[in-house]
Amino acid sequence: MNNFLSRRPLTMHQLYGDHVIFTSRPSFEKNPWLTTEEHQANMLTARELLIADMPVIIHEATVGEKSRALMQAAGMEFPSSYRTFKDAESYAERLREAEAAGEKIFFQYTHGEEFVEPSTYYIDKELFVALNNKMKLAKWTKGKFLPKRKVVPVRQLSEELQKWDYPYVIKPGDDHPTAGGYGVMICYNSQDRDKALSRIQEAETDADFVIEDYIRTEQNYCVQYAYSEATGLQYIGASIQNTNEYGKYHGNITAHHVPEQVIAAGREIMENGVAAGYRGIAGFDLLVDDQGEVYAIDLNFRQNGSTSMLIMDELLAGDYEKFFGTFAKVSNDAFYNRLMEEVRAGRLFPLAYYDGDYFTEEGIPSRFVGIWHGEKEDVEAHDQAFAQFNQD
């Protein structure tokens, strides 16, 4: 085995220190704005394992022999700093065990007090909730980098929307976490508006909502930073985000030429969060419009989908990295064998593998998240070839 992991330029342990554990799983509680499928949520618990170097709570299906073999094929020993769960009950047990041991927990997403006391949060829970609340965007940007926006009570939302020209964006302003564009409702026409209002009605919420102008985007960046007292404030890097027309996340590529005004805007927002007491990694969705103006549309004071890719950037061969997440549409064996072939070829770097065959039920597809890397044309060709192979 090589010393690949020893060459990481940054780990979560360097930021959060000893006696801190990490969980990226959304709470098992109901959340109307974060509709991640259960197996997808379980798989993503291991996404940051390689950049952690600290205890991470991950699902048992991510630590089997196939996961270890993929890591070995990439030249790495499987990390040992993890604690496993298999269901909602055992997940809650891991949290309670950490609390009883006096450890702090860095939550990717907030959990109710029935899981752990607020004092167990590594970041003050009220601050963490406020930092990630879309309604408070103006507070953390100090009123800068914002599209036209208005916060309205849900009971006034339908009436207020009649005053806005299409397209516009509706975002929930409550304390429920969101991710991957879920919870963000882009309205191009009255059909989209009616669908959004219907979804909001189904959520049975009395929260406020944010209405924003839709930004006609030239580029969509996730710009990331890290801070601790020991390391100071660091710019980790940025990725170019691929979203569909309704803002749903479909992956990203590493951005090596980011406009300085984008980096500066993100740094300013990070400094505002740090001044309020935030410690750790954060990523901000910053848009550049056709006039070169920078707009902040979402602030994620937590690890992000491309955080591992950005930290690993200089360690991967080639000039082009593309985040890759997929699940088996062919048989699990065929899916795994093709992944192994790509990893052994040195063009696909594994972050996490979720073994569908771990489960006694039949028909659970395996899942994978990793990084394509190499030259752009080669990466895109193999990405497309894998998609063609992995068809129903």
81, two tokens? 């700093």
Residue type present at position 361: E
Dist CA 269 CA 261 (whole Å): 12
Length of the chain: 392
What is the dihedral sign for C-alpha 293, 141, 237, 245? negative
Q: Give the residue carrying structure tokens 């006609």.
A: 216
* Burial class of 284 by CB neighbour count within 10 A (0 to 12, 13 to 18, 19+): buried
Q: In the chain, what is the straight-line distance between the N-terminal and C-terminal CA atoms, in Å?
A: 36
- Look up residue 328 and give its DSSP letter: -
Dist CA 55 CA 249 (whole Å): 28
92: part of which helix (H) or strand (E)? Answer: helix 88-100
CA-closest candidate to residue 61, choices 96, 87, 37: 87
| Helices first, then strands: H and E counts in the chain | 13, 16
Catalytic member of 302, 338, 347, 367: 302
Known catalytic membership, residue 155: no
Buried b (16+ CB within 10 A) or exposed e, 358-387: beeeeebbbbbbbbbbbeeeebeebbeebe
Dist CA 126 CA 112 (whole Å): 12
Residue type present at position 197: L
337, two tokens? 């064998």
Whether the ω angle into residue 167 lies within 30 degrees of 0, i.e. cis, is yes
**CA geometry: angle 82, 84, 89, nearest 5 deg:** 145
Report how far apart, in Å, the C-alpha atoms of 173 and of each of 197, 255, 273, 350, 391 are. Answer: 15, 30, 19, 36, 38
Catalytic residue ranges: 302
